[in-house]
Each structure stands twice: as structure tokens, then as C-alpha cells.
A = this chain, B = another copy of it.
Amino acid sequence: MQDVIDYLVGQQDDALQQLCEFLRIPSVSADSAFAADVARCAKWVRSAMEKAGLKAEIIPTKGHPIVYGERIESPELPTILVYGHYDVQPPDPLDLWTSPPFEPQIRDGRLFARGATDDKGQVFTHLKSIEAWMKLRGRLPVNIKFLIEGEEEVGSDNLEHFLKQNTDRLKADVAVISDTSQYGDGIPAITCGLRGIVAAEVRLTGPSKDLHSGIFGGSIANPANALAKICGQLVGDDGRIQIPGFYDDVEELTELEKQQFGQLPFDEAAFLSEVGSSAPFGESGRSTLERRWARPTCDINGMISGYTGQGPKTIIPSKATAKITCRLVPSQKPAKVLDALEKFLSSLCPPGLKFEFLRFHGCEAFVFDPTSEWITAASEAVKVAFGRPPVFIREGGSIPVVLSFKQILGLDTLLLGWGRNTDNLHSPNEHMHVADFHRGTLGSACLWQHLATVRRTS
């Protein structure tokens, strides 16, 4: 496929110009003042799909439209579902941008614009690679389905409904998303795991109103003391979560993964300095990367009770509330974890207090076996483009669409991040390295070639 590569290399300047056109459209999904621009951007994506050789259409939703395009070569070939988004974060605060967010500018080998890396630049690599294949070969090595939504930055509210209504149309063998990052500069990565999450709130109510701590202190349960007592027992001094049964379903990393993580360059001092902490903390006997990516957590995200202004106030508060999230790892079940959390906290609650437990959302962890043929094929493609094989990493957060693909479409997702996490995503001066854009386009072109060889299991 040297011809495809040569073609893409020859077309790099044009591709960059076209990406700039894409970036000039201020498709800010959060702000209704930009609604017409979001709609215009959807049309731009549709015509880019058509130009690449896909059959494309704009699908309205209750919010911003989805752009869908596909090219089916043969039922014998693997089908790849590419997901991305054409909407962008609001650009504020504008005064911190060196050049205007919607007037793309190249400086120091980097293309500055809102959406440059999140996610227009990364999405566009896949459109350009398809275009190259079609231009030179008139056909693709795989069947391709593109699903590019316009509401990722506002919670993808209408995506699940679309997935559920279109399970046949979206049928595929594997999904591809380029909306993550390389592990480090010039160290390409395939993200093989994401943690899941559960979120809850615990509310304790004691007296019906705040009471004078002198007149009443010592006679009734103080909900703030009680909240501290029960939430203070969630995590032990050794960093282990104390909820009975919490680790029952936790899947350990394979020896291979442990080894892979162990080999990754990781500067703990630089990490601590970046977050502003003076020491690491967490489960003993686990590396910082393992704790961030592959071990469950139990964090209090917020707490409030009683008086929180300046100086003292001599009250026994009426109420105390804590918000808690647990990050989950493969095989942990959200409902089971929430049950265990509620049981643990309520069992510790002293008498005389009303205990309430609110459940918010939950989703499972995602893991893609790094020894699978899909990963191996993707690795080969990345290696060609970046000149070195990717590392296999995980991320500690969740990507809801990956879970939706798994649950609704039964699909695993290849998370191939062409950008860098230093690209100022969601911040002023967002950019993408021009070299990363070109490498990503080559990687994408090679990806179709390599994925075509994978033995389909479905």
C-alpha cells in the first residue's frame, strides 16, 4: 500500500488546508448562539464524507444532528464503525488565546484552533485516509461506517437512543475511536482499558434544625461527626477500600499487562509536581500507573454540613451530605458495588440519625484484551505511521460511548489516540501537532489494511 502512503504524503498541505476549513466553523454545541454553525458543520462533515467516497446523510436528533456515512464493500470483509464528534468545547476565556480560536494558525509545528485535537483533527485523519484509498484503489479493504455526532461535548444525550434504534444499520466487527492521546510525545498508545464508575450521595439527618452546641452538645447524634465516622472508614490507611466484598469481582492485571505498564516511562516526581501533591497515596504494593488505571477507587467528591463561613459557629448541624464515586475495574458490577457501599455505610450509621442513600449513574469498566488480533492489527498500523510500536495503556476515567457500543452494539473499541494530552484539550490555545495529524492519517490508512486481515469472530 505504498501508493496510498505516497499519495497521502503528497497531499499533506491540502489536507491541512481542508482541516483548517473544518476548524473555522465554530461548532460549539453547548451554546445555542452557535446552533446554526453546528448545523453548518454537520453539512461540512457530510460533504467531506461524500468527497471521501462514502454514502452520507445528516440524521436529525432532538439536539444537534448526527452525520452518518458508510461504504459496504462486501459481506465477507470486516466492518469497522468509526466514531468521532464534530462539536467543540466553548472557547472561553477568549483573552487567553494567542490567536483567535476559530482562525486556525500554525506556530512551532502546531496547529492552533478550538477542536484541533478534540476531535476534528483526529476525525479528519480517518476521512482523509478513506479518501486516499478510494482515489487510488476505487475501493476499501474493509466495510466502513462513520458515526460523527455533534453532542459529545454536552453529554451525547441523543446518542444512545440513536444506537438502540439502529442496531442493524450499525452492525460491525469492531469500533475505532481517535479521541484519546499518545502516552507521551512520540510514544503512540492503544488504550486497552477504561475504568467504570458508580456515583452516589449519602445524607444524614439528625435534629430537625441546627442546634446550639452548648445547650444540646452531648445529648444527641451529630450528623457531621457521624458522616465523618462512616465515610472515614471507606479507605484504610493502606489505601485498601474497606467495603466488605468490594474486591470480590476485581480482575487483576495479567502478568503481560503488569510487565507492559512496568516498562512505561513514568516520572513520579514530575507527576506529583504537576498535580501539586507532596506524596503519592493509594493501595500499597501497586504502582502509581496501576492504581490510576487498573485498580478501583472510592473517593469522596464533596462534603457539606453545617456552618462553612469564616470563624467558628457553635452549632450541631441538622444535616450532613457526602458525594462518593467509585471507579470500577473489569468484572465489577455497578449495582453490586452500590449495594455493598450502601450496606456498609448504613451499617456504620449511629442511632438517632436518618440515613439516605441516593444512587446516580453507573457504568462498567471496559477492557480490550491486548493480545487480541484486532489490537495486533492496529498496532502494526500505528507502527508504520509512528515508526515505533504503540504501548498498551489504560485510562482511569470512563468514555461513555465505548460502554454504549459494548452494551448496545456488542462492539469492542480500538482507542487510537493520535494527539497528546498536552494539547490543551478544553483549554485556551488548544492545538494539534501537525506531525501528529499527518502520522495519524497514515496510521488510519494502514489501519484499514491491517484490520482487513483479522479473522472475524461474529
Contact = CB atoms under 8 A, between A and B. Distances in A.
A279 B221 contact: yes
Interface in A209-263: 209, 211-222, 224-225, 227-235, 237, 239
A311 B224 contact: no
A395 interface: yes
Nearest to A212: B397
Nearest to A289: B219
This chain's copy number in the assembly: 2
Contacts of A280: 219-220, 352
A301 B361 CA distance: 31
A12 B308 CA distance: 49
A292 B225 contact: no
Given A221-B279, A225-B235, A398-B214, A301 B307 contact: yes
Interface in A56-75: none
B302 A208 contact: no
A118 to B, nearest CB: 15
A313 interface: yes
B208 A276 contact: yes
Given A207-B277, A213-B325, A277-B206, A219 B304 contact: no
Contact of A306 (B216, B233, B316, B323): B323
A85 interface: no
Given A308-B304, A314-B325, A216 B292 contact: yes
A201 interface: yes
Contact of A220 (B208, B228, B282, B397): B282
Interface residues on A, range: 35 or more
A228 B303 contact: yes
Given A275-B207, A312-B199, A217 B307 contact: no
B301 A317 contact: yes
Contacts of A397: 212, 214-215, 314
B350 A311 contact: no
A237 to B, nearest CB: 7
A360 interface: yes
Contact of A195 (B195, B214, B237, B291): B214
Contacts of A300: 222, 224-225, 228, 305-306, 317
8 closest Cβ pairs, A-B complex: A208-B276, A214-B397, A232-B232, A279-B352, A302-B306, A199-B312, A224-B300, A221-B281
Interface of A: 195, 197, 199-201, 206-209, 211-222, 224-225, 227-235, 237, 239, 271-272, 275-283, 288, 291-292, 295-308, 311-318, 320-323, 325, 327, 350-354, 360-361, 395-398
